[in-house]
Amino acid sequence: MNADGESPAQDGPLVSIVIPTYNRMATLPATIESVRAQTYANIELVIVDDRSSDGTREFLNGLDLPFPVVVLFHEARQGGAVARNTGIAAASGEYVAFLDSDDVWHGEKLARQMRRLKALGPGYEACFCGWASVNSSGQPFYVRSSSLEGDVHAALVRENFIGTTSAFLASRARILEVGGFDPALKACQDWDLYLKLAKVTRFANVRDCLLDYLDDRSERISTNPRSRMRGHLRVYAKHRRAFLRGDRREAAAFRLYIADCLMHLGRTKLARNLMLGAFRRDPLSPTVLLRMGVVWTRRAPSDYANALKTLQAYRRRTERVTRRLPAFGGR
């Protein structure tokens, strides 16, 4: 029975749900309960504990669920990418769905994604959905949804519009074909996988919000500026180099992002150099000018007064520069 007291439908391919976890006893039970509540019944659960020390092992050893469960324990902590790859290797399903151990699926999540794949037919072997960011009290404050579907590789090169892996499922065969998650990445693991998969299959999309994503920034590797910067640089080297060379505005935005990471790491001089490179590539962008103002004044982004003064100075410089460029109407 699911959360509504109904017996889930039994048809459809087996879906293996991979949950990597590390010291998440405060949230893991609710995550597993959201799996139990799925209206799609042909599932197995694969949980990979990355050497937790908060009682997770004891809790997992006592699980009693109405569907097959595989529990694996790492003897040394190896990180989320390796934990997910361990789960993929142990999975028996035709499809693999990922769920972080602090996120919660809505009851129809798997059923709707699998129906969408079936409706679109051959050539579609991955599916994502909309999701809501919630705080530690469970209150939503941001919803992400996309209208994109089909051949999404070019769009993914531009940005990771899918986001969390908890919104994503794909053919296990295709995931293995592209090598799974890259263990070298501490951030952007999801984006890298999506980009690889988008080269070999089309993506289906259920636009409605079908999961709650706990946005606890104090606990996420992806909010560490050093990890974020290294992740984006590796994705750039693997997937985005040619694209950014051909798009001045996106190249400027990338430089801004890396500069922002460097600023938070205290590398102000290098951040300034990257900002100047962004300015040269997109001299009329207000975003470039504002961020340059923030870095030049060595203030936090909230110090708008000083940033505004610098912005105004750079606007004047921009006007002088662009008057000399024929492409912008100068002589």
The verdict on 201 and 317 lying in the same domain is no
What confidence tens digit (pLDDT) does each residue in 214-251 have? 876 444 444 577 877 787 788 888 888 777 776 777 77
Using pLDDT thresholds of 50, 70 and 90, give the confidence band for residue 9: low
Determine the residue type at 79. Answer: G
Do 54 and 203 have their domain in common? yes
Q: Do 274 and 166 belong together in one domain? A: no
Q: What is the value of pTM for the model shown?
A: 0.79
274 and 154 inside one domain: no
Three-state DSSP state, 289: helix
Question: Do 207 and 306 fall into the same domain?
Answer: no
Question: What DSSP line would sit under 48-71, residue for residue?
Answer: EE-S--SSHHHHHHT---SS-EEE
* Confidence bin at 311 (pLDDT 50/70/90): low
Our CA angle for 189, 235, 162, nearest 5°, is 55
pLDDT, one tens digit per residue, over 150-191 is 999 999 998 899 999 999 999 999 999 999 999 998 889 999
Which of 141-155, 200-214, 297-311 shows the lowest per-residue confidence on average (mean pLDDT)? 297-311
CATH of the domain at 265: 1.25.40
What is the span of the domain harbouring residue 81?
A: 15-219
117: CATH? 3.90.550.10
- 75 and 134 assigned to the same domain: yes
Confidence check: pLDDT of 45 > 60: yes
Reduced to 3 states, what is the DSSP secondary structure of residue 328?
Answer: helix
Give whole-number Cα distances, 97 to 114, 166, 179, 204, 260, in Å: 11, 7, 16, 14, 33
Number of folded domains in the chain? 2
Question: Residue 315 above 60 pLDDT?
Answer: no
Q: Is residue 56 part of a domain?
A: yes
Shared domain check, 183 and 258: no
Residue at 303 is within a domain: yes
Short-list 105, 108, 132, 124, CA closest to 32: 105
User: Are residue 81 and residue 22 in the same domain, yes or no?
Assistant: yes
Whether residue 305 lies inside any domain: the answer is yes
- Which helix (H) or strand (E) is 274 found in, with range? helix 268-281
Count each helix (H run) and each strand (E run) in the chain, helices first: 13, 9
The lowest-confidence range among 116-130, 196-210, 234-248 is 234-248
